[in-house]
Structure 1
Amino acid sequence: MIRRKIIFSLVSLVAMFALAACTGKDDAAPKGDSSSNMMEGHEGMNHAGTSDVPEGLKEALNQTYPVGSKAIIHADHMPGMNEAEATISGAFDTTVYTITYTPLNGGEKVENHKWVIHEEIENATNDSYQAGDEVIINAEHMEGMDDVTATIDSAEETTVYMVDYQDTETGEDVTYHKWVTESELSQVE
């Protein structure tokens, strides 16, 4: 357990230095204006996150992809993600949700956004939410998402992963992307 925490800390530290070295590169570009941020309602998706996780989120005990391991992403939450090789930067057991909401910044309605986790719901109950439930989101995956009222579209208990990868379209480094489910990953061959 201690070894795993040390490895996670080292991976986090290296990623933080790499991210700091890249700061300023795209500062002049307006958010949501880059082609790497555009995908069916995913304009403004945050490419680089932090290693911070919501309070109460529990590290997965039997994750298929341990922190520091490599996996191939099979998801298109944003352009340049599908088929990218990822490095696992976190693995957690929780309930993941797809949600529909209208951004607080006045953007277009976002349907079936993947993924928000149970710990990112304000005043979350102990039980998982069901399709049709309305919740308030405490996450900033996209512009205008934090503090928005959303409708749950689906719910699934699974292991979710925080991943680092290189955008296959732009070459941009994406760090601490939250979240990819276990079913959206496969072993590197």
Structure 2
Amino acid sequence: MIRKRVLFVSIVLAIVFSLGACFDGIGEDTTQPEYSALPDENAQTEQADMVGDHQEMNHSSGEVPDDLEEAANPAYPVDSTATIQADHMPGMDGATATIGGAYETTAYSVSYTPVNGGEAVENHRWIIHEELQDAQAYPYAEGAAVNLDAEHMPGMKGASAAVDSVQQTTVYMVDFLDTETGEEITNHQWVTENELSP
């Protein structure tokens, strides 16, 4: 009888120690961080904020509104080249642009909150009058509330926006090589005439 009890206690102790070894470390976080490049991602986010998230732009849409009027005598005709003097996005300022289209219109810089829940975009350049939903016949003034019908960036189409500035000008659709990455950007919309130089 004693022998059976000793055997039973020995088996129980063996089981307890085995289970203890199996569960050793439970509750400890032994996983590696999911994002090992977190500092770099934060730096990229800060850079994105500085340029108004324009690296998410749909660079190569090429869709021109049907009612947009071609410029009769633009300073930079189609297929000519010019130097971009604007920093709507990284790699743009100083790039050599080939003109893909020149149009007479009203250009607006706008601030809006994307409909997809992204962060608010401040002073986006440029939305043209023909890219506004149910636009009135005459240009909007600074501070006016408008609805966007363009898809330059994710979450833009359908967003409510405030007009920050207004320019009656020639706008250009341009192709250029990104000066930072070497990526070919085609049909970028839009660059205004005063953002180009010979």
| TM-score after normalising by structure 1 | 0.77
After TM superposition, list the pairs within 5 Å mapping 1:65-104 onto structure 2: 65-104=76-115
Q: Which residue of 1 aligns with 2:60?
A: 48
Which of residues 155, 163, 167 is equivalent to 2:166? 155
TM-fit CA distance, 1:45: 1.4
After TM superposition, list the pairs within 5 Å mapping 1:167-178 onto structure 2: 167-178=178-189
TM-fit CA distance, 1:47: 2.3
Which of residues 94, 118, 124 is equivalent to 1:113? 124
Q: Where does structure 2 lack aligned partners over 5 or more consecutive residues?
A: 1-40
In 1, Cα distance between the equivalents of 2:148 and 2:84? 25
TM-fit CA distance, 1:49: 2.0
In 1, Cα distance between the equivalents of 2:82 and 2:138? 31
Q: Indicate conservation of the 8 Å contact 1:86/1:164, yes or no.
A: yes
- In the alignment, structure 1 residue 131 sits paired with structure 2 residue 139: no
Q: In the alignment, residue 95 of structure 1 is paired with which amino acid?
A: T
Q: In the alignment, residue 58 of structure 2 is paired with which amino acid?
A: N
TM-fit CA distance, 1:179: 0.2
Q: Which residue of 2 aligns with 1:182?
A: 193
Q: In the alignment, residue 103 of structure 2 is paired with which amino acid?
A: F
Q: Indicate conservation of the 8 Å contact 1:41/1:108, yes or no.
A: no
Say which is worse superposed, 101-110 or 91-100, in terms of deviation: 101-110
Q: Indicate conservation of the 8 Å contact 2:52/2:123, yes or no.
A: no
Q: Where does structure 1 lack aligned partners over 5 or more consecutive residues?
A: 1-32
Which of residues 148, 152, 156 is equivalent to 1:141? 152
In 1, Cα distance between the equivalents of 2:151 and 2:70? 21
In 2, Cα distance between the equivalents of 1:54 and 1:111? 24
Provide, for residues 29-61 of structure 1, a one-character-per-residue CA deviation record: whole Å limited to 9, x for no partner: xxxx8x6x93532242122222x2112100001
Q: In the alignment, residue 120 of structure 2 is paired with which amino acid?
A: K
Identity in percent: 55
Q: Which residue of 2 aligns with 1:63?
A: 74
Q: Let me know the Cα RMSD of the aligned residues.
A: 1.5
In 2, Cα distance between the equivalents of 1:138 and 1:175? 20
In 1, Cα distance between the equivalents of 2:118 and 2:189? 21
In our comparison, the structure showing a higher alpha carbon Rg is 2
Q: Indicate conservation of the 8 Å contact 2:59/2:189, yes or no.
A: no
Q: Which residue of 1 aligns with 2:33?
A: none
Which 4+ stretches in 1 moved above 4 angstroms? Answer: none
Q: Indicate conservation of the 8 Å contact 1:135/1:152, yes or no.
A: yes
Q: In the alignment, residue 156 of structure 1 is paired with which amino acid?
A: Q
TM-fit CA distance, 1:165: 0.2
In 2, Cα distance between the equivalents of 1:41 and 1:124? 25
